[in-house]
Amino acid sequence: MNAFNSYVKKFLERVQTAHFLAWPYGELVNERDRHADVLSAPLTLHCGVTLKNRLVKAAMSDSLGDGAGRPSEQQIELYRRWADGGAALSIIGEVQVDHRFAEKPGNLVVGPRTDDTLLRRLAEAGSTDRAQIWPQLGHAGALAHAPISNPAGPSALDLDGLRCDELSLAEIKELPTAYARAASHAQAVGFGGVEIHAGHGFLLSQFLSPLFNRRSDHYGGSIEARCRILSEILQQVRHAVGDDFAVAVKINSSDQLDGGLSEADSLTAIELIDAESVDLIDISGGTYFPGAPASSDRRSAGPYFIDFARRARSVTHTPLMATGGFKTRAEAAEAVASNAVDLIGLARPLALDPDLASKWTRPGGGDPSFPEFDAPPPGGLTAWYSMRLTAIADGIEDEWDVELSDAIEAYEARDAERVDTWRRAFEVSNGEAG
Ligand SMILES: Cc1cc2nc3c(=O)[nH]c(=O)nc-3n(C[C@H](O)[C@H](O)[C@H](O)COP(=O)(O)O)c2cc1C
């Protein structure tokens, strides 16, 4: 977009949000005001943290770590941008509790080698204007990035495109401490909460899933046993951070895979989570299992998990968020107004327009236009959106107009370049590249 077009776009947005154009259209204005009212209502969580509105920047692995697990200046700018854009909360995707099992070499790591000054600056940048910023604490398990790790999950697997070892019982017993240590660390550097990532086929989602978890000890078998490690982690995290810090969980409504986590089992897991001290349950679905449908690559119309969220309401008192598929303000307002969920998680919409939360909480609104791609390859959309986050971080999103294939190439090249940095920083001598 050239400078003139960008100026016109900003002018029109301002005029729209200032009501000038809207007032003659009675009912339309009322409807728009109602949407703004619903979405701008604050929500106070059990821990006492108040979210200033109902719009959350869902976890996105932004690949903007510096390659050694530390925040980059670009990443700090990205989160400042979302806070300035009005999101009540931004969740930083894939912040690793153990550098040995990262999802990508652009992830952050919260651990002994972390640069706390940079983490503090990230927490500060993301919390301007009463916004909250929480790291999503992750461990990729079987889906750890092979060039920098030896992937290991609940059970050993040797499938096309996915090979992993089995975690020993002793290694499983160490997990609650690792998550609790990372959560305390996040709290110490100024974040207001954490989201425990138990979705999308990463470690805790692998434990929940019969496809990944074939254990015969008390961490495998029934859904109660498959959920045990998640419950133990939640207990230890809460013990470490105290009552005033937000603890959320992201969980799949189902894996959308034959033999994976079913909706019925997910509802039981939500009931079990409800018994812990949790402030928010973020509902998603799908996995990054090779060839499987991932939520971030999905293109179907309408919010994906609202029907499931309505069913989850009957088994939990914990506030609910649904992430996935929201494309219009009307859909978001309807999901909250109908009491299906308390919060709306937005990933791609906030990658398209980092100011969307401001627009959707003011009269006038304005929905993003979504790009259309012909037959994108698996992971292609996620790569394109990921590169768009870099454009936002660099302040060039208005001019950014990149072909899918170029975005995928740039995304893959950046990760490949960072592998050596990661291996040096963490003295990795194993992994496929070793
Ligand atoms: C670039 C990109 C990176 C993502 N990384 C993560 C992640 O690190 N953790 C996570 O839980 N979900 C991740 N997701 C999935 C989103 O949180 C969300 O569940 C999914 O994109 C569907 O929501 P949407 O329709 O609003 O995009 C990612 C999505 C995108 C587009």
- Given this model, what pLDDT does residue 15 score? 38
Q: Which residue, judged by its Cα, is nearest atom 1 of ligand 1? A: 386
Per-residue pLDDT at 28: 59
What gap in Å lies between CA 297 and CA 295, rounded to an integer? 5
Pairing label, strands 157-159, 320-323: unpaired
Q: Is residue 204 scored above 80 in pLDDT?
A: yes
Q: Whose CA is nearest to atom 2 of ligand 1?
A: 60
Check residue 364 and give its pLDDT.
87
pLDDT of 248 > 80? The answer is: yes
Q: How far is the CA of 57 from the centre of ligand 1 (A)?
A: 9
pTM: 0.92
d(CA 283, CA 117): 32
Which residues, 6 or more positions from 351, have their beta carbon under 8 angstroms from its beta carbon?
60, 385, 388, 389, 392
Output the CA 15–ligand 1 centroid distance in Å: 32
Tell how far the Cα of 169 is from the centroid of ligand 1, in angstroms: 31
- Ligand 1 pocket mutation pick from 137, 249, 323 by most atoms within 8 angstroms of CB: 323
pLDDT at 18 over 90: no
pLDDT at 306 over 50: yes
> What's the pLDDT band for 434 if we cut at 50, 70, 90?
very low
Who has greater pLDDT, 427 or 51? 51
Q: Which pLDDT score, from 0 to 100, does residue 87 have?
A: 98
* CB-defined site of ligand 1, < 6 Å: 58-61, 93-94, 136, 197, 199-200, 250, 284, 295-296, 323-326, 346-349, 382, 385-386
pLDDT digits over 126-170, tens only? Answer: 999 999 999 999 999 999 999 999 999 999 999 888 899 999 999
Taking only the tens place, the pLDDT of each residue in 363-382 is 988 999 999 998 889 889 99
- pLDDT score for 1: 42
Above 90 in pLDDT, residue 10? no
Q: Tens digits of per-residue pLDDT, 346-362?
A: 999 999 999 999 999 99
The confidence score (pLDDT) of residue 178 equals 98
Average pLDDT, the chain: 91
State which of 136, 295, 367 you would mutate to test the pocket of ligand 1, scoring each by most atoms of that ligand within 8 A of its C-beta.
295
- Above pLDDT 70, what percent of the chain? 91
Neighbour-count burial of 217, counting CB atoms closer than 10 A to its CB (0-12 exposed, 13-18 middle, 19+ buried): exposed
Q: Is the confidence at residue 431, as pLDDT, over 60?
A: no
Distance 382 CA to ligand 1 centre (A): 8
Going from the Cα of 109 to the center of ligand 1, the distance in angstroms, rounded, reads: 19
- pLDDT, position 375: 86
Looking from the CA of residue 348, the nearest atom of ligand 1 is 27
Average pLDDT over residues 43-63: 98
Indicate whether 304 pLDDT > 80: yes
Considering all CA atoms of the chain, what is the largest pairwise distance in Å, rounded to the nearest integer?
68
How would you classify the pairing of strands 162-166 and 108-109? unpaired
Backbone angles phi, psi at 416, to 5 degrees: -65, -40
State residue 192's pLDDT score.
98
Q: 61-79, pLDDT tens digit by residue?
A: 999 999 999 999 999 999 9
- CATH classification number, 48-425, choose in 3.30.70.260, 3.20.20.70, 2.60.40.10, 3.40.50.150: 3.20.20.70
Q: Is the pLDDT of residue 255 over 50?
A: yes
- Spatial strand order in the sheet of 152-153: 152-153, 162-166, 157-159
In this prediction, residue 429 carries a pLDDT of: 75
Whose C-alpha lies nearest to ligand 1, atom 15? 296
pLDDT attached to residue 121: 98
Query: How far is the centre of ligand 1, averaged over its atoms, from the C-alpha of 287 (Å)?
Result: 11
For the stretch 19-48, pLDDT in tens is 334 444 455 567 768 999 999 999 999 999
Q: Is the pLDDT of residue 17 over 50?
A: no
Tokens coding 243: 């009552």
Query: Would you state the structure tokens that stand for residue 300, as one six-digit string?
Result: 């179907």
Q: Which atom of ligand 1 is nearest to the CA of 197?
A: 11
Cα–Cα distances in angstroms (integers) from residue 352 to residues 12, 293, 327, 386, 398, in the given order? 18, 22, 11, 11, 10
As a whole number, mean pLDDT of residues 91-104 equals 97
**CA 365 to ligand 1 centroid distance, Å:** 23
Residue bearing the bigger pLDDT, 76 or 302: 76
